[in-house]
A and B are shown apart, each in its own frame.
Chain A
C-alpha cells in the first residue's frame, strides 16, 4: 500500500499545537484526519496522540469521553503513536499535578531533579531538557544512537522495565520511548526531529 492510501487520525485534545505533527504527515504524502470525536477516535485505522503542556489539563480531558475512546482504540490492536504528553498520558499519575492518565501501563511520570550536573563538564543541567539528544535503543521503530528533539521537564517511569524501548541520558538515564504490541510512544518530538523523525513516522505508517 502506498503512503497516499494510508489513513492516519490525529487526536485533537486541545493540548498544544498540532500544526507540525500534521505537516510531518503531509510531507510524507498522508493527509491526516484531525478529530476529538470519541467515535472517530475508536474507528481510526492508525492513531496519533500528540501533546504538549500540562498534565493536569491532559488528565481533565481524559476524564471525559475521550479517555475511554483512546483505551478502546488501543484495545483494538491497531497502531497507536503517543508523542510527549501523549506518552505520559499512557501511565497512571504524574508528579506534575493531580489527575489520572489513561493507566494503559502501570507507572508514573516524574520530574528531572533540579540539581543535576553534566558528568563530563560539571555544568549545571537545565530543566526543561530542551534540544537534540541521542537515544540508546534496539527497537525497530528507532535508530540506535539516533538523534531526536526533546522539550520536557518530566519523563515516565514504567513499573515494568520491559516496556522501555529507548533511553536517553540527561543527568540521569531516563525513558525516551516505550513500546508494547501496537502501542509505541516517545518523549521526543518526531515532527521536529528532521529526517530521523520522518523515518520514525514512515515506520509507523508502514505498520
Chain B
C-alpha cells in the first residue's frame, strides 16, 4: 500500500537555503542543491523548495537552481513561492519541478488554479494554505487563510478554501499552521484533521515539527498523507533515515531507507 511521505523543506532566498524563526534573523544553511541531494540520499520521499526571494528580478536564480537540483536528485521536487500565473508554472515545470505550489496567487485569482491544473494536470498543482486560528477561546474553532508570509488575513475560512481549491483542480494541499510554524510544538492536529476530512486530495502537514513524535502524530492522529519539516533536518537534529526508522517502529507505513542511505553528512551533528 501507499507510503506516507517525508518531505524536507528548503526555504530558498537568493539561491541559498536560509533558516530562521518566522523569517526573522535568517541564517545561511547551505547550497540548496547539496541539501536536496543529501536529503534524497537519506531517504526523503520528495523535496520541497519554497522561494522567499523578494525581488522579481532574482527569479532567474530560482529557475537555474531548480534545473540544477532536478539534475541532482531522482525523487519528486515541489517548488513554490511567487507563483501567480500560468507562465510561472510553465517555467518551473520546464526547469524540472514535478509540482508547483501556489498560495497568494490562488487567493488573488482562484481561476488560476483551474487554468493551471487544466493545462498541466492536477497532480502538478499544489495549493499552499497558511492558516491561523482566529476564533476566541470558547467560540467554535475557526481558521483563517493568511497570505504574504502570514501578514495578510484574507478572511477566508481555511477549511472552505481548501474544499474550493480542490474543486478548482488542486491536486494536493500544503497546509501550514501559522500558529505552530517555528514553535517546535508539533503540527496543529485539529486543523490538519479538519482539512484531511474535508478534501479528497492528499494533504501535506506543515508547521511546528520539533521531533519525530510530532511527525508520527501528523500521520496517525491528523491523517496527513505527507509530513513537511525543515529545521529538524537542517539542524542535524535528525536524519531522514532516523525519522523513518522511528516511524516504522511506531507502525507508520513509510518507504524504508535503503541500507546505503545511512546517516551520511547530515548525521554529522547528531
Indicate, yes or no, whether A interacts with B.
yes
A101-120: CB near B (< 8 Å → 1, else 0) gives: 00000000000000000101
In the bound complex, do residue B71 and residue A26 qualify as a contact, i.e. CB atoms below 8 Å apart? yes
A192 touches B5 (CB 8 A): no
Q: A19-B94, A19-B96 are in contact. Are A195 and B260 (CB under 8 A)?
A: yes
Distance A134 CA – B2 CA, assembled complex (angstroms) = 7
- Chain A, range 1-27, C-beta contacts under 8 Å to B: 17, 19-20, 23-24, 26-27
Please classify how large the interface on chain B is, using the bins under 10, 10 to 19, 20 to 34, 35 or more: 20 to 34
Q: Which of A26, A53, A134 has the most CB of B within 10 A?
A: A134
Q: B225 and A193: CB pair below 8 A? A: no
What is the 8 Å Cβ interface bit string for chain A, positions 39-70, against chain B (1 contact, 0 not)?
A: 00000000000001100000000000000000
Most chain A CB inside 10 Å of its own CB: which residue of B76, B172, B260: B76
CA gap between A123 and B202 in the complex, in Å:
12
Q: Does A197 contact B (CB under 8 A)?
A: yes
Of A30-38, A124-132, A155-163, the segment with at least 4 beta carbons within 8 Å of chain B is A124-132
Expressed in whole angstroms, the Cα–Cα distance for A143 and B11 within the complex equals 35
Residue of A nearest to B95 (CB): A19
Q: Establish whether residues B121 and A53, one from each chain, have CB atoms under 8 Å apart when the complex forms.
A: yes
Known A-B contacts A19-B96, A26-B71, A195-B260; the reply to A131 vs B3 at CB < 8 A is: yes
Flag whether B117 is at the interface (Cβ < 8 A).
Answer: no
Please indicate the chain A residues that have their CB under 8 angstroms from the CB of B201 in the complex.
Answer: 126
A204 proximal to B (CB < 8 A): no
| B-chain residues with CB within 8 Å of residue A26 when the two chains form the complex | 71
Which of B71, B76, B121, B200 lies in contact with A52, CB distance below 8 A?
B121
Output the least CB separation between A117 and chain B (Å): 11
Q: Mark A157-197, 1 if CB is under 8 A from B, else 0.
A: 00000000000011000000000000000000001111111
Q: Please tell me if the beta carbons of A23 and B98 are within 8 angstroms of each other in the complex.
A: no
Q: Determine the chain A residues whose CB is within 8 A of the CB of B93 once the complex forms.
A: 17
With contacts A126-B200, A193-B74, A194-B40 taken as known, whether A120 is within 8 angstroms of B171 at the C-beta atoms is no
Contact of A169 among B1, B70, B121, B256 (CB under 8 A): B1
CA distance A24 to B171 in the complex (A): 25
Chain B residues numbered 76-132 whose CB sits less than 8 Å from any CB in chain A? 76, 93-94, 96, 98, 121-123
Contact between A128 and B255, CB atoms less than 8 A apart: no
Chain B residues positioned under 8 Å from A24 (CB to CB): 74
**Chain A, Cβ-Cβ closest to B201:** A126
Question: Is the pair A192, B1 in contact by a Cβ cutoff of 8 Å?
Answer: no
- Chain A residues whose CB sits within 8 angstroms of the CB of B225 once the complex forms: 126, 131
Q: In angstroms, how far is the closest chain B Cβ from the Cβ of A108?
A: 22
- Pair A19/B70 contact, Cβ less than 8 Å: yes
B226 surroundings in chain A (CB, below 8 A):
131
With the chains together, A53 CA to B120 CA distance in Å?
A: 8
Is B45 on the interface with A (CB-CB < 8 A)?
yes
How far is A61 from B200 in the complex, measured between Cα atoms in Å?
32
Q: How far is the CA of A130 from the CA of B94 in the complex (A)?
A: 21
Contact A194 B74 (CB under 8 A): yes
Q: Are A170 and B2 in contact (CB under 8 A)?
A: yes
A sample of 21 inter-chain contacts (CB < 8 A) reads A17-B94, A19-B70, A20-B98, A23-B71, A23-B74, A118-B1, A124-B200, A130-B123, A130-B171, A131-B2, A131-B5, A131-B202, A131-B225, A132-B5, A132-B255, A133-B1, A133-B2, A133-B3, A192-B74, A192-B98, A194-B40
A residues sitting closer than 8 Å to B (CB atoms) are: 17, 19-20, 23-24, 26-27, 52-53, 118, 120, 123-126, 128-134, 147, 149-151, 169-170, 191-198
Beyond the given pairs A52-B121, A147-B3, A195-B260, 16 more chain A to chain B contacts, judged by CB atoms under 8 angstroms and listed by A's residue number, are: A19-B70, A20-B96, A23-B71, A24-B74, A118-B1, A124-B200, A126-B200, A131-B45, A132-B3, A133-B2, A147-B256, A149-B75, A170-B1, A192-B74, A192-B76, A194-B74
Question: Nearest 7 A-B pairs (CB), nearest first?
Answer: A132-B255, A132-B3, A147-B255, A19-B96, A131-B2, A194-B74, A133-B2
